[in-house]
Structure 1
Amino acid sequence: MNPWDAITPSEELEWHPCYDFVNPAFRCARLTVPLDYDCPRIPSRPSPKVHIAVTLLPAKNPAANRSPMLLNPGGPGGSGSMFALLVAPALQKILDPDQPIIGFDPRGIGFTTPVADCWATPPPCDGCPEDTAKGLVHRLAWTSTNAGFGFVNSSSIAFKYLEAGHRAVNDLCRGKDSQLEGQSIFAHASTAHVAQDMISIVDAWDRWVNKTQDAATLAVNPTQKKLIYWGFSYGTYLGATFASMFPDRVGRLILDGVVDAEHYVTPVWKESLVDTDKVLGEFFRLCVEAGPKCALYRAGDTQEDLGNRYHAILDRLSADPPITFTHPTSFFPVIVRASFIRALVFTVLYKPSSFPSLAILLDYIYQEKYEELAILFQDPQLLCLAPGNSLAGVVTDAQRAIMCSDKTKPVNLTLEEFRSEFDGTASISQFADIWVSLMLQCNGWDIYSPKHSVPKVPWTIPPNKTKGQQQAKIKTAFPILFLSNTYDPVTPLVAAVKMATKFQDAGLIEQVSSGHCTLASISWCTALAIKYYVLFGQVPPPPVVDGDDYLGGKWQRCWGNGGPWNEFDVAGIDGDDEEKRATVEMMEAFKKVRETLDSVPRFGVGALPGFEGVEEALRNFATAHAAV
């Protein structure tokens, strides 16, 4: 049974036991907030509402009276409530048992209602629910059809039909919005709306504490009325937006895998790929270092040899005739397309822990053992075994609604203009076709609230061109902590440095590793920095840069411990046996969070029509070959 169905929404946090099979301490609530914060409340007139799904892992000792840490796993489109369900126990081991952890589903996502679903069939009668299951079938059929086009440069017609497909979906969403007479979630799903929702959650928490706890027994809470937050990937844009809109409400903000806000609000955001190919280079380098442990390695190989072998594999898959085989258990034909394998590679760049599995997969192709790839291709009929609407609310249009609403102005480029954007992106990365295929989804989106306006934050205000003058840094009630890997495939280090310079006294840590967000690797140094920041308010020094030379400055660095082919080794950590035991426990907790973050849909290839199963296929393959 879905526990959310039994919870009556309320304008106060009313906690109910939920998911006790995961942890009996978990509690859930549905917090009611206005659909439109700008709409005045008139008691005699009902106003549209949003009911936010909130999951809580309480503190072991509530009298410690700590503000909860809110989480966002990224996307946009990731379910924060489910993320907290999976990682909150591990986070309490990392931080402190008395640190409450809250996950929430932002507007349009997961179990927050209404869901951003353009495909759900309209209700047949007044008071009847939408048919989300039928809409899901239509969505899957559409995406399966569009998958045949591959990426924007897969053929001479791919760009034209992929762009037309996204415009068609946006027309579908516009039709759904018009049915709801401008009161749908699509027009009120921007990041600025979600930032206001976080204020509502913080205030509701303080009211709940005051109502349910004996004030005489509570410890002093220095972060009362302030936000404690850890955001990953897109979650860093949400955190930065919150800090710019409500700087006096910042308690502790960790922004991990940092989005360059100035580029995010542009049509294509191509600068995100400046380090993507460097992460692929790290795969080749680490494979050579691992030697025979890496399945793709051959005796005497150099990093260049590995790169050449990789491109030869892709060339083979792109050649005529295409590579095909019959699925050995489901008995249907499979075409091994280069676009699908490249999508898998792009996904793996997010998480180097999957480098060994990628090496095995590529080696099977190199050796022409194609049937070993069968687990990547699931029988579509397995969807029929899914109970009820298990995918409804998970497969949504939330990413489209949020990201496209965040643009400073509607995206309405011609096909030739988008081709030009692709050419510029291709000069940055070999994965430009994947990225631009993702960016197409905003072309033609024009659903906004009547008072739609982008918050007046530094990344939406034209820079001051007056010589010698710069925009003033945003002063927050407490400094922000920015985190970045040296090489991140979609949120490069330069973005973290640049964003840190927009906020007064903000600290920055570069983790010398690769992957998306610092949790892609394990670092004892980073783990301690996060713990000391949250619990004791210790902020690393701000980055020192010279003008716009963001990568030529100085800031704190932490080295990763272990790698894809060698696990974290506690032997290098100083301390007695008890300290080392605590270290192992903390690092195991970080690994748990990393593995969970890997499983949460974030902004990446999973958003492409027909490629929603890429991450699932990779996990299946990695699990099946874990012992190899």
Structure 2
Amino acid sequence: MHTRRTLRTFRTGALLLTAALLATACSSGSATSSTGSAVAALPRATPAALSPYYKQKLIWRGCDAAGFECATLKAPLDYARPAAGDVRLAVSRKKATGPGRRIGSLLVNPGGPGGSAVGYLQQYAGLGYPAGIRARYDMVAFDPRGVAHSEPVQCLDGPGMDAYTRTDITPDDRRETDELVASYKRFAEGCGARSPKLLRHVSTVEAARDMDILRAVLGDRKLNYVGASYGTFLGATYAGLFPQRVGRLVLDGAMDPSLPARRLNLEQTAGFDTAFRSFARNCVRRPDCPLGGPGTSPERAGRNLKAFLERLDRRPVPTGDAGGRRLTESLATTGVIAAMYDEGAWPQLRQALAAAARRNDGTGLLALSDSYYERDAGGGYSNLMSANAAVNCLDLPPAFDTPDQLRTALPAFRKASPVFGEGLAWSSLSCAYWPVQPSGEPRRIEARGAAPIVVVGTTRDPATPYRWARSLARQLSSGRLLTYEGDGHTAYGRGSRCIDSTINAYLLRGTPPTDGKRCS
């Protein structure tokens, strides 16, 4: 899979963006946590040069039969030089339905980076959030700069993306290593050629500042927000920059902003291994499990899956794709990882693995991979992966600078996950060839003076390991850790009455949970 730490999730088999490709920074190649300073709050007074942005009026128009409205928000392309030009950001809302007094706006972000928050609002949150929340809040989302409807970053066309996603990510020799590096370079060069100006201004800090303009334009004194996965980093960054403007913040599937990229990659690799072991224990109890029968250990199931992927590396299998695409090791790995985000996708994964391993039919795994990459039936891709890389490579110096440097870390990655470790390690090399220098670094986020912030962690989360939630809750001066003991990526709205009622009470009444509360 050609991403650095991509985080996604499934809900009842349909791929939705409630996750992120991680976005914190490191000193290049470092494997230890940051000892740098905390994120510093910005001055409370709005700079005069930004005043026109804060005073703008949104022009709302109906944009959906379900009652959604859309508008365009202007923000400075470069906050250091506001007069240098604007970036236009897509905004959508569903007004509070009542009854009851309107609390304000509730901004939602599903993660990515690169996931369309506008799409998430209109397809899920604006109609699927609890009725009590939708009654009291205007449900609002904006696509961050460079994403989907907000001047999207573009890198490769459909055929280019097809070639990129099927490139071997477990190179066996120098030739395959050179091919992988060339693939990363083509992707990076495409981004630089197609979005040269915007590429320097899609950082998480800039998106958080855009969020404050949106808060003001919506007429809210404080920001109320629910962010998942990468959305937790965006929300925590906002809290660090504007602690006095924090309202009710929920950070679900939390990231740790204090860690360098290599350690983030390594710990996420271990998270996917934890999720796979949970899947394997469930799988081998079932007669249709292609990884072994009753009594098969997770370790043995993992070796069986690894052997299957290695066979695909030598001989990709047919998929029935109209364009003749075959299931490669890299596409199959992406399909397996995609299903780790939600146990609701495990039956689909079992069937797809069985079809590929036993009947030489890669259709199911290719479908999982295509959903993950947001590839449509016509061969077109959303800009998810382009925006994903653009934000992360700006937020973080690369985890590795060269293939030789990466090879020295392979034993640690293989130990973290015998199945996925090697591929995830090589995927973390992509930003080494990025055409724009990174602007971020790992920093603690304390947000001193902020109202209580709810940080949610799932104990067997594959993409944002539970320890990250614990760390972020400790960093935040007002953090309250809420734990879900279970599987899957993120917890709110995924079936736990305890989690949902706790978060709903906080959003509706402003009552945060006791720090350390646990749900199952």
Q: TM-score, normalised by structure 1?
A: 0.66
- Tell me if 1:361 matches 2:352: yes
Please provide the CA RMSD for this pair.
3.2
Distance change in 2, residues 1:344/1:163 (3 Å): same
- Choose which of 55, 80, 103 in structure 2 pairs with 1:66: 103
Distance 1:53 1:319 in 2: 45
The answer as to whether partners of 2:170 and 2:426 remain within 8 angstroms in 1 is yes
SS, match of residue 459 in structure 2: strand
The answer as to whether partners of 2:456 and 2:482 remain within 8 angstroms in 1 is yes
The answer as to whether partners of 1:28 and 1:54 remain within 8 angstroms in 2 is yes
Distance change in 2, residues 1:155/1:356 (3 Å): farther
Distance 2:272 2:309 in 1: 22
Over alpha carbons, which structure has the higher Rg?
A: 1
The answer as to whether partners of 2:77 and 2:86 remain within 8 angstroms in 1 is yes
Distance 1:393 1:317 in 2: 27
Q: Corresponding residue for 2:519?
A: 558
Distance 1:39 1:328 in 2: 52
Q: Deviations over 1:2-24 (max 9, x none)?
A: xxxxxxx993221100121xx1x
Shift of 1:557: 1.0
Distance 1:96 1:187 in 2: 36
Q: Corresponding residue for 2:495?
A: 522
Distance 1:375 1:359 in 2: 10
Shift of 1:504: 1.7
Alignment of 1:319-358 (within 5 A): 319=311, 330=322, 335-358=326-349
The answer as to whether partners of 1:59 and 1:100 remain within 8 angstroms in 2 is yes
Alignment of 1:560-579 (within 5 A): none
Q: Deviations over 1:109-156 (max 9, x none)?
A: 01112x21245xxxxxxxxxxxxxxxx2xxx33333344532134555
Distance 2:80 2:399 in 1: 25
Shift of 1:344: 1.6
SS, match of residue 100 in structure 1: strand
Q: Deviations over 1:253-287 (max 9, x none)?
A: 11111112122555863222233212111112223
The answer as to whether partners of 1:514 and 1:520 remain within 8 angstroms in 2 is no
Corresponding letter in the other structure for 2:392:
M
Distance change in 2, residues 1:168/1:336 (3 Å): closer
Corresponding letter in the other structure for 2:136:
D
Shift of 1:174: 3.5
Q: Corresponding residue for 1:436?
A: 425
- Choose which of 499, 508, 515 in structure 1 pairs with 2:472: 499
Corresponding letter in the other structure for 2:113:
P
Distance change in 2, residues 1:319/1:92 (3 Å): closer
Q: Corresponding residue for 1:189?
A: 202
Distance 1:392 1:325 in 2: 23
Q: Corresponding residue for 2:46?
A: none
* Runs of 5+ consecutive residues of structure 1 not aligned to the other structure: 1-8, 42-46, 120-135, 179-183, 207-223, 460-472, 543-554, 560-628
- Tell me if 1:17 matches 2:62: yes
Structure 1 runs (4+) deviating above 6 angstroms are none
SS, match of residue 510 in structure 1: strand
Distance change in 2, residues 1:485/1:270 (3 Å): same
Alignment of 1:217-228 (within 5 A): 224-228=220-224
Shift of 1:529: 0.7
Q: Deviations over 1:10-57 (max 9, x none)?
A: 93221100121xx1x21000111111122154xxxxx41111101101
Distance change in 2, residues 1:476/1:296 (3 Å): farther
Q: Corresponding residue for 2:137?
A: 99
Q: Deviations over 1:310-369 (max 9, x none)?
A: 533542553499556666685x76644444333221111111111111122233345x22
- Choose which of 355, 360, 375 in structure 2 pairs with 1:370: 360
Distance 2:131 2:58 in 1: 25
Distance change in 2, residues 1:99/1:284 (3 Å): same
Aligned identity (percent) is: 25
The answer as to whether partners of 1:258 and 1:483 remain within 8 angstroms in 2 is yes
- Tell me if 1:458 matches 2:444: yes
Distance 2:321 2:436 in 1: 45
Corresponding letter in the other structure for 1:33:
A
Q: Deviations over 1:77-121 (max 9, x none)?
A: 0000000001211114262422211111000001112x21245xx
Shift of 1:539: 1.4
Alignment of 1:380-399 (within 5 A): 386=378, 391=380, 394-395=383-384, 397-399=386-388
SS, match of residue 342 in structure 1: helix
Alignment of 1:232-381 (within 5 A): 232-263=228-259, 265=261, 269-288=265-284, 291-292=286-287, 295-296=289-290, 301-304=294-297, 307-309=299-301, 311-312=303-304, 314-316=306-308, 318-319=310-311, 330=322, 335-366=326-357, 368-371=358-361, 373-374=362-363, 376-377=365-366
- Choose which of 68, 89, 92 in structure 2 pairs with 1:52: 89
- Tell me if 1:27 matches 2:100: no
Q: Corresponding residue for 1:466?
A: none
Q: Deviations over 1:181-224 (max 9, x none)?
A: xxx21111100000000001100000xxxxxxxxxxxxxxxxx4
* Runs of 5+ consecutive residues of structure 2 not aligned to the other structure: 1-52
- Choose which of 454, 467, 478 in structure 1 pairs with 2:451: 478
The answer as to whether partners of 1:81 and 1:104 remain within 8 angstroms in 2 is yes
Equivalent pairs counted in the alignment come to 459
Distance 1:315 1:323 in 2: 12
Between the two structures, name the one with larger relative contact order (CA 8 Å, sep ≥ 6): 2
Alignment of 1:394-433 (within 5 A): 394-395=383-384, 397-407=386-396, 409=397, 413-430=401-418, 431-433=420-422
Q: Corresponding residue for 1:470?
A: none
Distance 1:509 1:74 in 2: 19
Distance change in 2, residues 1:483/1:360 (3 Å): same
Q: TM-score, normalised by structure 2?
A: 0.79
Distance 1:249 1:73 in 2: 21
The answer as to whether partners of 1:234 and 1:259 remain within 8 angstroms in 2 is yes
SS, match of residue 443 in structure 1: helix
Distance 1:62 1:34 in 2: 37
SS, match of residue 137 in structure 2: coil
Distance 1:303 1:169 in 2: 41
Distance change in 2, residues 1:172/1:486 (3 Å): same
Shift of 1:487: 0.7
The answer as to whether partners of 1:149 and 1:155 remain within 8 angstroms in 2 is no
- Tell me if 1:109 matches 2:147: yes
Shift of 1:420: 2.2
Distance change in 2, residues 1:453/1:335 (3 Å): closer
Alignment of 1:608-623 (within 5 A): none
Q: Corresponding residue for 1:125?
A: none
Shift of 1:415: 2.1
SS, match of residue 97 in structure 1: helix
Distance 1:413 1:82 in 2: 35
Distance 1:267 1:295 in 2: 33
The answer as to whether partners of 1:56 and 1:103 remain within 8 angstroms in 2 is yes
Shift of 1:164: 3.2
Distance change in 2, residues 1:455/1:250 (3 Å): farther
Q: Deviations over 1:543-584 (max 9, x none)?
A: xxxxxxxxxxxx22101xxxxxxxxxxxxxxxxxxxxxxxxx
Distance 2:444 2:121 in 1: 31
SS, match of residue 228 in structure 1: strand
Distance 2:192 2:366 in 1: 34
Shift of 1:498: 0.6
Corresponding letter in the other structure for 1:353:
G
